[in-house]
Amino acid sequence: MINKGVGITSMNFHGRGTLAGMIPDEKLLKHITNIADKNKIPYQYEVALGVLTETAFLEFSGNYGVPCASLSIPTRYTHTNIETISINDLINVKKLLYLFLKDIKSDSKYGKSV
C-alpha cells in the first residue's frame, strides 16, 4: 500500500510454464527487517503473484546459489502514464538500503551453504 512503508518481498511467483519465483533468504531478510525496526523505517511484506524478477534465477546459480531479497517502492497504476508512488516510501527505500549496505560485515553469512 502506498505510503505505508518499504515493500519487502516475502515471495514472488509467476506460475506459467517453467518459470519459478523467489522466496528470499531467511537470514538476509531478518537482517534487513532488523535494520528497519532499529531505525524505525516502516515496511510491509509483499507477495507478488504473476511477477518474476531476476532473483528467481540467481537463487539457483552456482553450487550454492546467491542469497537474494527484494526491496520495492509500492506503486499504484503501474506501467501507465499516471504511475503513482509515495515520496516517503522512496526516501525510506533509499535509507533502508543504505543502512543495510553500511551494516554488512566481512563475516556476514547468508545462503544455503551457511
* pTM: predicted TM-score of the whole model, two decimal places: 0.83
pLDDT of residue 53: 64
Q: Where are the beta strands (DSSP E) in 1-114?
A: 6-13, 21-22, 43-49, 71-72
> Could you give the CA distance from residue 43 to residue 21 in angstroms, rounded to a whole number?
21
Per-residue pLDDT tens for 77-105?
988 999 999 999 999 999 999 999 999 98
CA 97 to chain centre: 10
**Total number of domains constituting the chain:** 1
Question: pLDDT below 70 — which residues of the chain?
Answer: 15-20, 51-57, 59-60, 64, 112-114
pLDDT of residue 107: 87
pLDDT of residue 101: 95
Supply the range of the domain harboring residue 76: 6-103
Q: Do residues 47 and 10 lie in contact, with contact meaning Cβ atoms separated by under 8 Å?
A: yes
**Does any domain span residue 25?**
yes
Report which of 6, 59, 12, 60 is spatially closest to residue 32, judged by C-alpha positions.
6
**Does any domain span residue 114?**
no
CATH of the domain at 63: 3.40.630.10
